[in-house]
Amino acid sequence: MNGYEYICGTAARFRKKFPDLYERKEKKPVFIDSSMLDKIEDIPDEIKAELIGKSRISRMNREDFAINTEDENGYKYYLDIDCSCYDFYKNDKLIYSVLHVDGARWNVYKANIYGDYDDLPVKSGSLNWSENLNFKLGRIDISAYESEVD
């Protein structure tokens, strides 16, 4: 993935083209593409959405660890995510950014009859998780693609 599929010209056009992406309000709009998490079957979709909403990822902090939430069935979910960031500029001004989730690892714990969580997870896994996390930043000047966007 190189980020060029996210070129839309303005944040408003981006919202129309990608209405399902989570948007985080910073000085400029930051959209989070967490579609890679759809491949994880151990975590229900509503829990994934809640975990992304709780995450502290941003343009400057592109990984987050131990994001957690509980469900009504006594399960506790932990998620670590790693993102790449695509910044879209026009005339040297930042228009919007897209954080694309590139890797994830997770653990699911079950509470015992006393409400305590066991030491070992009942489900765990990783997807495209790199032990060597690095900052993946792409700056794309959309001025060069103005005719394609309009």
Q: How many domains does the chain have?
A: 1
- pLDDT by residue, tens only, the chain of 150 residues: 567 889 888 999 999 999 999 998 888 999 999 999 999 999 999 999 999 999 999 888 888 889 999 999 999 999 999 998 899 998 889 999 999 999 999 999 998 877 788 788 999 999 988 776 555 556 667 776 665 555
Q: Where in the sequence is the domain holding 56, given as residue range(s)?
A: 4-145
51 part of a folded domain = yes
66: buried, middle or exposed (CB in 10 Å: 19+, 13-18, 0-12)? Answer: exposed
Query: What pTM was estimated for this model as a whole?
Result: 0.80
Task: Report yes or no on 33 lying in a domain.
Answer: yes
Residue 150 inside a domain? The answer is: no
Nearest to 102 by CA among 133, 125, 69: 133
Tally of CB atoms within 10 A around 8: 20
- Does a structural domain hold residue 137? yes
Is 136 part of any domain?
yes
Closest to 59 in 3D by CA, of 93, 90, 22, 24? 24
| Domain membership flag for residue 135 | yes
